[in-house]
Amino acid sequence: MTPSLAQPSLLEMHGIVKTFPGVRALGGVDLDVRPGEVHCLLGQNGAGKSTLIKVLAGAHQPDAGTITWQGSPVVLGDPQAALKLGIATIYQELDLVPGLTVADNVFLGRERSRFGFTRAADASRAATALLTRLGHPEIRPGTEVGSLSAAAQQMVSIARALSQDARLIIMDEPSAVLDNEEVERLFRVIRDLTADGVAVVYISHRLEEIRQIGDRITVLKDGATVATGLPARETPTREVITLMTGRTIEYVFPERSAPLPAGQEPLLAVEGLSLRGSFSDVSFTVRPGEIVGLAGLVGSGRSEILETLYGARRATAGSVRVAGRRLRAGDVGAAVAAGVGLAPEERKSQALLLGESVANNISISSLSRFARGGFLSGGAERAAAQEQVTALDVRPGDVTREVRTLSGGNQQKVVLARWLLRDCRVLLLDEPTRGVDVGARSEIYALIRALADRGVAVVVVSSEIPEVLGLADRVLVVAEGRVLAEEPAGALDEHRVLDLVMEGTTHGGVPATQHEGDVA
């Protein structure tokens, strides 16, 4: 239910300015949020969304501007001050402690105790009640968080926010690791919260989600508010994109190249590949210049297939060949030496050294190129990295800058630049546009197609079926660890893929035992 226009604001932010050394992250942001509404915060990567929510969470202090809470000016000097007011933040990069239990994480810093003794049973019961409210009673309070799936960890993080009796919950890309059913469950929880008067600031790059769950929209561009209070369901997508980018962008994919020559030998050949408990008997080929997509739901085994091809997981059966040469199972070094590169799903935790420079992150897989008499030539390394940064239009273009300071889209470009510098022949891309804004998506799509046109064999995994169909030449539909179909992308549409997936999930997944066959 959309809050009344006459209802007083719960939160007001006016003229918020935040400057870091050499960077003006926020240059005058205005935002007002009413009780019981879902207020969607939109903007390209680098527009200032993350900085703004950190100001609101008390993690950053603004250089100028005012914050009003329930009509009274406030200073959010630290995260505890925000929590005391009832402001809880669920970050895109979940801040859970892997070695602690679910219950410990839910009540971290607010442990339930009596006479100085922790009351673990009380915490366990309360955590179970919260997770049941979220529709996940199967997540046990005594389970170690690090053993849970990404989607389950997201639910634990939401449970922690609910446990704080929050009046305002900030959700930064909460659906990024959730499948369609999980997203619908999340939306039901959000609707229950707003019905109780809780406000939600919702950040997402998926504009279709904004239509479903949002009440009003605020758009940021270059650290400033360019529009606020827009009705989420009535504002045309074209208008939102134009506000975000300053130009009109059609959500289109680069044109496919001319058909590949007949009889061309595959660059990547996968035969009977299996990984016990994840996927079984996967076979396909990719020719030079071809993009093959893996379409399916979260948990279908797509990511595990890519990780096994890369050697990060050891196959229990099957073989992988690059240009006819068989790769040794579970050997990342052998895969990289053969010309295989991987851009993993979780780029911050799996692909990037966040505290290192852009140059170091780009060159890390090609260091032998810059060795001179046993010493690393820093100048040559930076020059090579700068060439890639310029070619990919990474912003800012300073290769000495820490990669953690870049937006998500630019961080993804750095990962791709690493493999461009390496001249890889097979590129494996897992969720290449997750957390990437509309404008940067178009750039990444064009870059992937350009790589294929240079003769690279590309395998793409994405949870967004239109992305797979629009980018790939050929598509494998995967469900519960099995390849259900392999067809040209032009012969499929989203409904057909979903029909195949749903049909496949009714026939069981990976067998409990598999042949110990020809291990790669």
Q: Residue 351 falls within a domain, yes or no? A: no
Q: Residue 91 falls within a domain, yes or no? A: no
115 pLDDT more than 50: no
Same domain, 508 and 430: yes
Choose one of 189, 221, 249: the last residue of a domain: 249
Q: How many CB atoms lie within 10 A of CB 349?
A: 10
The answer to whether 173 touches 435, Cβ cutoff 8 Å, is yes
Percent residues over pLDDT 70 in the chain: 91
- N residues, the chain: 520
Query: What residue numbers bound the domain in which 519 lies?
Result: 265-339+424-520
The position carrying tokens 């870091």 is: 20
Render pLDDT for 22-64 as a digit per residue (tens, 0 to 9).
778 899 999 999 999 999 999 876 788 989 999 999 999 999 9
Angle of helix 180-195 relative to helix 150-163, nearest 10 degrees, comes to 10
Look at residue 513 in the predicted model and tell me its pLDDT: 36
Q: Residue 349 falls within a domain, yes or no? A: no
The answer to whether 477 touches 501, Cβ cutoff 8 Å, is yes
The answer to whether 335 touches 310, Cβ cutoff 8 Å, is yes
Look at residue 385 in the predicted model and tell me its pLDDT: 93
Same domain, 213 and 298: no
Same domain, 31 and 142: no
For residues 191-220, give the mean pLDDT.
Answer: 90
Look at residue 510 in the predicted model and tell me its pLDDT: 44
What mean pLDDT value characterizes the chain? 86
Q: How confident is the model at residue 204 (pLDDT cuts 50, 70, 90)?
A: confident
Same domain, 245 and 175: yes
Look at residue 503 in the predicted model and tell me its pLDDT: 67
184 pLDDT more than 60: yes
Q: Which of 318, 317, 315, 355 minimizes the C-alpha distance to 331? A: 315
Q: Residue 233 falls within a domain, yes or no? A: yes
Lowest model confidence (mean pLDDT) among 82-96, 99-113, 247-261, 270-284: 247-261
Asked if the bond preceding 396 is cis, omega within 30° of 0, the reply is yes
Render pLDDT for 321-375 as a digit per residue (tens, 0 to 9).
999 999 999 999 999 999 999 999 888 888 899 999 999 999 998 888 887 776 7
The position carrying tokens 């442990």 is: 111
- CA 397 from chain centre, in angstroms, equals 23
| CA pseudo-torsion sign 302, 304, 307, 309 | negative
Render pLDDT for 78-100 as a digit per residue (tens, 0 to 9).
999 999 999 999 887 677 888 89
Render pLDDT for 477-513 as a digit per residue (tens, 0 to 9).
998 899 999 999 989 987 788 778 766 654 444 443 3
438 three-class SS? helix
Q: Residue 208 falls within a domain, yes or no? A: yes
Q: Which of 350, 342, 309, 304 minimizes the C-alpha distance to 328? A: 309
Same domain, 156 and 170: no
Same domain, 434 and 487: yes
Look at residue 250 in the predicted model and tell me its pLDDT: 52
179 pLDDT more than 60: yes
Render pLDDT for 147-171 as a digit per residue (tens, 0 to 9).
988 778 888 988 888 888 889 999 9
Choose one of 201, 220, 249: the last residue of a domain: 249
Same domain, 218 and 175: yes
Report the alpha-carbon distance of residue 194 to residue 166 in Å, rounded.
11
Same domain, 435 and 518: yes
Provide the number of structural domains found in the chain: 4
CATH number of the domain residue 297 falls in: 3.40.50.300
424 to 340, 364, 451: CA distances (angstroms): 6, 14, 10
Same domain, 118 and 178: no
More confident residue, 101 or 372: 101
What's the alpha-carbon Rg for the chain, to the nearest Å? 24
Same domain, 316 and 442: yes
Report the alpha-carbon distance of residue 334 to residue 74 in Å, rounded.
57
Strand 457-462 and strand 291-295: the pairing is parallel
Same domain, 137 and 190: no
CA end-to-end distance (rounded Å), the chain:
56
375 to 363, 368, 370, 380, 418: CA distances (angstroms): 15, 10, 8, 12, 21
269 CB-near residues (< 8 Å, 6+ apart): 285, 319, 320, 321, 322, 324
CA dihedral defined by 387, 390, 392, 395, rounded to 10 degrees?
Answer: 130
More confident residue, 114 or 401: 401
Same domain, 325 and 282: yes
Q: Residue 334 falls within a domain, yes or no? A: yes
Choose one of 249, 281, 301: the last residue of a domain: 249
Q: Residue 345 falls within a domain, yes or no? A: no
292 pLDDT more than 80: yes
Q: How confident is the model at residue 520 (pLDDT cuts 50, 70, 90)?
A: very low
Q: Residue 348 falls within a domain, yes or no? A: no
